[in-house]
Amino acid sequence: MRDPPALQWDRGFGLVERYGPQLLPLRGRGYERADIRIHAIDPLSRDFWPFPPAASIPRTPARRLFPAMSQTLERQRRHRGRRYQGAHQGAGLAAVSRLAELPLRRGGADAKFGLDLSADFARIAGKEQPGSYLVGLRAPDQGARHWLRVTITDLSLSAIEEPGASASR
């Protein structure tokens, strides 16, 4: 008996290079396409930071929510202790909504791969531009959408340790 089809982000958040590959980590089996939604978000907003390691939201609204409605939903989410349940609703309409072709086949083996969304990010903000996004992933026959928060940046941090150096100075 074969395992049922599955599709999910490998992480709940991540960074991609502004001038390099913009591949998001995905794993799955049995699906040839996925429904992708991308919402541009304010990179300084704390509404989506820290983002949980794995977040899924049962339904995506087809319309933009009014600010007062978003605030009411946010209070309800906090009250229930599910800070990110429906968090994308405050992000408004999706800038990108499309079916993406996947390198998976029906009845195929499990695979871990990167989904290239560089053309989608370029369509939203311009080629090789920084930004922060919520990226939703849904298998065509499922209702739940899995979300990933991604930041496109050229900023980096390097830490160098000197051999024999004291940790406290």
| Amino acid type, 159 | A
pTM of the entire structure?
A: 0.70
Domain boundaries, the chain: 6-60+93-153
| Amino acid type, 112 | K
Letter string b/e over residues 45-59, b meaning 16 or more CB atoms within 10 A of that residue's CB? eeebeebeeebbbee
Yes or no: say if 99 and 36 are a contact pair by the CB < 8 Å rule.
yes
The pLDDT score that the predictor gives to residue 109 is 83
The pLDDT score that the predictor gives to residue 52 is 66
Q: pLDDT per residue over 141-153, tens digit each? A: 888 888 889 999 9
The rounded radius of gyration (Å) of the Cα atoms in the chain is: 18
The pLDDT score that the predictor gives to residue 84 is 43
The pLDDT score that the predictor gives to residue 121 is 95
Q: How far is it, in rounded angstroms, from Cα 154 to Cα 42?
A: 17
**CATH code for the part of the protein at 6-60+93-153:** 2.60.40
Give the residue ranges of the chain where pLDDT is below 70: 1, 49-92, 156-158, 165-169
